[in-house]
């Protein structure tokens, strides 16, 4: 099953629409509530980028975990 990402509507040519929520795909590990917040910030960054405003950085964990290497 494929899940859309925050920028999927923009990639399909639908302007002025971004998605946010815990049901979206992310490129980083996240649980449901964290995914809702992270995709909301991604959506806000896409709107800010379209308006030429500086984006807010999104701090996420690595896919590998803390590890020793």
Q: What pLDDT sits at residue 38?
A: 92
Radius of gyration of the chain, Cα coordinates, nearest whole angstrom: 13
pTM to 2 decimals?
A: 0.80
Residue in 18, 62, 21 with CA at minimum distance from that of residue 38: 21
Q: Is a pLDDT exceeding 90 seen at residue 52?
A: yes
Element (H, E) at 40: helix 32-50
| Percent of the chain surpassing pLDDT 70 | 91
Q: According to the model, what pLDDT value does residue 7 have?
A: 92
Number of domains in the chain: 1
Give me the domain span that covers residue 43: 1-69
Q: What is the pLDDT of residues 16-48, one digit of tens each?
A: 899 999 999 998 888 888 999 999 999 999 999
Is residue 1 pLDDT above 60, yes or no?
no
């Amino acid at each position: 099953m494929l899940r859309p990402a925050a920028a999927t509507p923009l990639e399909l040519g639908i302007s002025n629409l971004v998605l946010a929520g815990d049901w979206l795909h992310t490129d980083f590990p996240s649980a449901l509530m964290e995914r809702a917040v992270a995709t909301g910030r991604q959506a806000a960054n896409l709107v800010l980028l379209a308006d030429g405003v500086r984006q807010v950085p999104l701090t996420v964990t690595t896919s590998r975990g803390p590890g020793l290497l």
